């Protein structure tokens, strides 16, 4: 026995970028709600658009199943007197459940024996249940921003204006804030009826369709794409709108219809990136290019039927003309000077109160960049320096003032127009990358060096001045920038130790006087590296904790260590090695200052065995470490497994004799240090033993 269920939340225009996410969330929450309440269903599907979030559940059971539940009563001691007759407490409890004392059962609990009554809980009818639960369901949707709009205190992304709940042909009544649900929906804002009565779910979809609402968002997106395909075929060109724009357009409309517009040829003299930004960023219009040449056409979308008399086309063309006029105004203004002149203007632009001007920042970036170029073996040092010098110059151009998203791109264009080397132009363009998670990293060596340099200076200088991000507050985007540095290092397999590099550039920051110290930089990077490897490289947290227990500023090397440990983990002898090592690690905790030992003082043969094994392994590892042969190092360490086990079985490390004890601890510390070439293996979780569990935290200092 089941019927279909539909919920529709009517909302004033939801920001298009979050429409799909909210729609999907509602469907997920609905499924959770059904499961929690033991309602069976066949499938759940989300429908969403700018003015409505809907969810359709097919074959939702009509009733919760009855369940039996045990209700706790008085303690057995209080329920029966010394003769074993039921007391008033027992009788009262039984009566309250409509049972006799003989129906009650006795159960053992942690607090002793208690009487229990078995109670049958009748399942509720689904419509009643939904009336109760739908308001909470809607409130559960998590939102990127919220607002109030009336005195109910209800918050949502935009005002909710109608609510519709249908279970088969039954309208579900429920209340949310000041709003009551009603068996009604609304059509397209301009091309549909307001207040459309709906009796059935089939009718709901039919009436939406008839009232200018394409309720299937995938279909909306298809319409947008098909329209563009038609024009790209017509122009023998391609459009340059990113997928995200097309989705945004589709999610902003209930009935998208393309309108083709044209702009005057004269504006084709503008760089094509500027043309594209003007159309895309300001107007959400789609531009076209044929080969490398921009075309004087664009497509916009209106929500409704065809623009039959050209009113909309004329309107679009007017606004585009005004926008392009503005863009040209900026471009021509900027081109009166060279990019290097703009670079000099940076002397008067404050970067940050304690860090001087952007010019000062650029000077530091130049030194970082050249140093990185040298260490990474990039060559092209003059180009790297020139790029670093020019990379921020476009910040003071009118064009970037108008289109902040074109930062870097405008610099690249102007550099080309100034006849700078193409490596420099490309470097300027790439030096922002990756800006956000998911962005590509710089392709060229010059771009890579300057991107790293710019980010490193930002991170180091702001951390040193005490601007470390806290909680969700990261006003300078330092986490994102550090993630960028690490991603570049990992993907390009750069053999640069950033900690070494930072220490080598230390004197650049001496102007700060007393600062937070470089320790904070290393901690910050280690934490970011931990998060990236955990989340994006799927490295188990315990292996990360093990490897990051020793500070390593070479991200690519850290990853290699991690991978070698991942390979061996789970193998029996490695597990035993970890257990054995953990004994050494644990017993030396708190005695790490003892580093000296005298082999003459070893008493047992077992001790000397381990010492000899240690010496052998150490000399081998010293040869393997520079080549980063971690598999080889693990092999050497594995040879220590048996001597370690024998050692701990036979030797009392914490001997009563102080000298003997300290000698043994000193030796074990050396042994532990040898393992640290790879990491603190005691942090690796092995079966039957719990290692340091810190799944969500950053690595602790060892």
Partner 1 sequence: MYFQDLLLKLEEFWRSQGCLIQQPFDIEVGAGTFHPSTFFGVLGPKPWKVAYVQPSRRPVDGRYGDNPLRMAFYYQYQVILKPAPDDFQDLYLESLTYLGLDVKKHDFKFEKDDWKSPTQGAWGLGWQASLDGMEISQFTYFQQMGGIDLNPVTGEITYGTERLSMFLQGVESAFDLKWNADHTYGEVLLEYEKDRCDYNFEKSNAEMLFKSFDLYEAEAKSCLKNNLVYPAYECTCKCSNLFNLLDARRAISVTERERFMQRVQDLSKSCARAYVKRLKAAEASEPAQPVS
Under rule CB under 8 A, residue 591 binds partner 1:
no
Segment interacting with partner 1 (CB under 8 A) among 14-22, 26-34, 449-457, 590-598:
14-22
Under rule CB under 8 A, residue 144 binds partner 1:
no
Segment interacting with partner 1 (CB under 8 A) among 71-79, 316-324, 550-558, 654-662:
316-324
Which residues partner with 105 through β-bridges? 116
Closest approach of partner 1 to the CB of residue 585, in Å:
49
Tokens of 584: 């050494």
Nearest to 319 by CA among 263, 388, 248: 263
The CA distance from 559 to 568, in Å, is 15
Q: Return the number of the residue (97 or 282) whose C-beta is nearest partner 1.
A: 282
Q: Return the number of the residue (317 or 371) whose C-beta is nearest partner 1.
A: 317
* 215 SS3 class: coil
Three-state helix/strand/coil letters over 37-66: CCCCCCEEEEEEECCEEEEEEEEEECECCC
Q: Return the number of the residue (94 or 274) whose C-beta is nearest partner 1.
A: 274
Under rule CB under 8 A, residue 326 binds partner 1:
yes
Segment interacting with partner 1 (CB under 8 A) among 156-164, 461-469, 607-615, 620-628:
156-164
**515-534 residues near partner 1, rule: CB under 8 A:** none
The CA distance from 702 to 694, in Å, is 13
The CA distance from 649 to 25, in Å, is 57
Closest approach of partner 1 to the CB of residue 453, in Å:
21
Give every CB contact of residue 344 below 8 A, 6+ residues apart in sequence: 359
Q: Return the number of the residue (204 or 316) whose C-beta is nearest partner 1.
A: 316
Choice from 45, 106, 136, 325 touching partner 1 (CB under 8 A): 325
Under rule CB under 8 A, residue 322 binds partner 1:
yes
First to last CA, the chain: 62
Tokens of 308: 């039959």
Segment interacting with partner 1 (CB under 8 A) among 143-151, 413-421, 563-571, 658-666:
143-151
Closest approach of partner 1 to the CB of residue 13, in Å:
4
Q: DSSP assignment of 635-662, as one string? A: HHHHTTHHHHHHHHHH--SS-SSHHHHH
Segment interacting with partner 1 (CB under 8 A) among 148-156, 408-416, 506-514, 586-594:
148-156
Phi then psi dihedrals of residue 146, to 5 deg: -135, 160
Closest approach of partner 1 to the CB of residue 401, in Å:
9
**278-297 residues near partner 1, rule: CB under 8 A:** 283, 285
Under rule CB under 8 A, residue 147 binds partner 1:
yes
Closest approach of partner 1 to the CB of residue 514, in Å:
22
The CA distance from 560 to 493, in Å, is 10
- Counting every residue written for the chain, the total comes to 702
Choice from 109, 175, 293, 311 touching partner 1 (CB under 8 A): 311
User: What distance lies between CA 545 and its chain's CA centroid?
Assistant: 21
Closest approach of partner 1 to the CB of residue 351, in Å:
7
The CA distance from 470 to 475, in Å, is 10
**340-369 residues near partner 1, rule: CB under 8 A:** 348-353
Choice from 252, 526, 564, 702 touching partner 1 (CB under 8 A): 252
Under rule CB under 8 A, residue 276 binds partner 1:
no
Choice from 129, 196, 286, 320 touching partner 1 (CB under 8 A): 320
Give every CB contact of residue 6 below 8 A, 6+ residues apart in sequence: 54, 55, 56, 57, 164, 165, 166, 201, 204
The CA distance from 145 to 154, in Å, is 13
Choice from 8, 254, 307, 383 touching partner 1 (CB under 8 A): 307
Interface with partner 1: number of residues (CB under 8 A): 46
520 touches 464 (CB < 8 A): yes
| Residue span 369-398 as binding mask against partner 1, x where in contact by CB under 8 A, dash where not | --------------------------x---
Show the CA angle centred on residue 510, arms to residues 505 and 514, nearest 5°: 125
The CA distance from 198 to 171, in Å, is 9
Closest approach of partner 1 to the CB of residue 15, in Å:
4
The CA distance from 370 to 587, in Å, is 47
The 10 Å Cβ neighbour count of residue 306 is 10
Residues that bind partner 1 (CB under 8 A): 12-13, 15-17, 145, 147-151, 158-159, 161, 190-191, 252, 259, 283, 285, 300, 302-304, 307, 309, 311-312, 314-316, 318-322, 325-326, 329, 348-353, 395
């Amino acid at each position: 026995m089941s019927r279909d269920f539909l919920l529709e939340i009517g909302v004033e225009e939801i920001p298009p970028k979050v429409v799909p996410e909210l729609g999907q969330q509602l469907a997920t929450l609905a499924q959770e709600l059904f499961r929690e309440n033991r309602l069976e269903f066949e499938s759940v599907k989300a429908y969403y658009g700018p003015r409505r979030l809907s969810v359709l559940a097919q074959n939702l059971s009509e009733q919760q199943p009855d369940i039996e539940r045990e209700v706790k009563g008085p303690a057995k001691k209080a329920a029966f007197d010394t003769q074993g007759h039921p007391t008033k407490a027992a009788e009262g409890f039984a009566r309250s459940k409509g049972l006799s004392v003989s129906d009650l059962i006795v159960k053992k609990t942690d607090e002793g024996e208690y009487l229990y009554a078995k109670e049958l809980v009748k399942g509720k009818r689904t419509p009643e249940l939904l009336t109760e639960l739908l308001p909470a369901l809607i409130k559960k949707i998590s939102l990127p921003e919220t607002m109030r709009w009336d005195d109910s205190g209800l918050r949502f992304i935009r005002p909710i204006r109608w609510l519709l709940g249908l279970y088969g042909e039954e309208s579900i009544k429920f209340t949310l804030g000041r709003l009551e649900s009603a068996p009604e929906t609304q059509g397209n804002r301009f091309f549909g009826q307001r207040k459309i009565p709906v009796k059935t779910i089939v009718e709901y979809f039919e009436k939406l369709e008839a009232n200018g609402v394409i309720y299937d968002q995938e279909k909306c997106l298809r319409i947008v794409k098909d329209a563009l395909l038609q024009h790209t075929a017509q122009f023998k060109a391609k459009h340059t709108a990113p997928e995200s724009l097309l989705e945004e357009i589709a999610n902003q409309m209930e009935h998208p219809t393309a309108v083709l517009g044209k702009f005057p040829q004269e504006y084709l003299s503008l760089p094509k990136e500027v043309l594209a930004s003007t159309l895309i960023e300001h107007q959400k219009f789609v531009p076209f290019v044929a080969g490398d040449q921009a075309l004087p056409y664009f497509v916009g979308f209106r929500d409704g039927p065809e623009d039959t008399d050209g009113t909309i086309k004329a309107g679009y063309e007017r606004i585009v003309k005004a926008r392009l006029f503005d863009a040209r105004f900026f471009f021509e203004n900027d081109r009166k000077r060279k990019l290097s002149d703009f670079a000099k203007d940076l002397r008067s632009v404050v970067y940050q109160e304690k860090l001087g001007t952007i010019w000062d920042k650029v000077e530091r970036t130049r030194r970082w960049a050249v140093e990185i170029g040298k260490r990474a073996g990039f060559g092209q040092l003059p180009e790297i320096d020139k790029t670093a010098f020019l990379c921020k110059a476009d910040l003071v151009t009118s064009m970037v003032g108008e289109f902040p998203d074109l930062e870097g791109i405008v610099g690249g264009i102007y550099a080309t127009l100034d006849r700078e080397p193409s490596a420099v132009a490309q470097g300027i363009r790439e030096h922002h990358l990756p800006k956000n998670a998911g962005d590509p990293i710089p392709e060229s060596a010059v771009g890579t060096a300057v991107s790293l340099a710019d980010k490193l200076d930002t991170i180091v200088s702001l951390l040193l001045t005490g601007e470390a991000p806290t909680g969700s507050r990261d006003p300078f985007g330092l986490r994102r920038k550090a993630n960028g540095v690490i991603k570049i290092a990992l993907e390009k397999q750069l053999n640069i130790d950033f900690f070494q590099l930072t220490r080598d550039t230390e004197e650049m920051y001496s102007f700060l006087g007393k600062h937070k110290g470089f320790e904070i930089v290393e901690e910050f990077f280690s934490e970011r590296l931990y998060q990236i490897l955990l989340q994006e490289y799927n490295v188990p947290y315990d292996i990360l904790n093990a490897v990051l227990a020793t500070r390593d500023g070479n991200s690519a090397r850290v990853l290699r260590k991690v991978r070698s440990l991942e390979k061996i983990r789970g193998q029996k002898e490695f597990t035993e090695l970890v257990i054995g090592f953990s004994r050494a690690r644990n017993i030396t905790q708190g005695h790490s200052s003892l580093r000296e030992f005298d082999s003459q003082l070893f008493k047992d043969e077992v001790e000397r065995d381990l010492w000899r094994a240690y010496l052998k392994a150490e000399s081998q590892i010293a040869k393997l470490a520079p080549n980063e042969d971690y598999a080889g190092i693990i092999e050497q360490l594995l040879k220590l497994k048996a001597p370690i086990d024998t050692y701990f079985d036979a030797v009392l490390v914490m001997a009563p004799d102080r000298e003997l004890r300290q000698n043994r601890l000193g030796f074990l510390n050396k042994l532990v240090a040898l393992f640290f070439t790879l990491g603190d293996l005691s942090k690796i979780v092995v079966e039957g033993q719990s290692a340091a569990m810190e799944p969500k935290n950053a690595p602790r200092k060892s």
